Amino acid sequence: MKPIMNALKATYYFFAGDAILLVAVLLAFGLATLLAHVSAPNVLVAVIFIALIVGGLTLTLGRELRGRKRGG
């Protein structure tokens, strides 16, 4: 049972460790699902999905770099 709990905790910490990334992923999946149900072209769905994920990663990385101390 302990390995299962450890795996669940690791998964939770991976996805919820950064709120910006979590929101970006949830938004990307939600919007992609919505667009797929209204018969949007697959290329459009893929481009929007990837753009939202990359946008979330970019925002997270930018925040991390701004928070890093410079110098010694």
Mean pLDDT of the residues in the chain:
86
| Long-range CB contacts (within 8 A, 24+) of 37-41 | none
Structural domain boundaries in the chain: 18-67
Mean pLDDT of the region 65-69: 76
Mean pLDDT of the region 4-30: 83
Match 């010694």 to its residue by tokens: 72
Give the C-alpha separation, 62 to 35, whole Å: 29
List, for residues 46-63, the tens digit of each pLDDT value. Answer: 999 999 999 998 988 888
Give the C-alpha separation, 39 to 45, whole Å: 10
pLDDT at 9: 81
- Using the predicted structure, report yes or no on whether residue 16 has a pLDDT greater than 70: no
> Does the predicted model carry a pTM greater than 0.75?
no
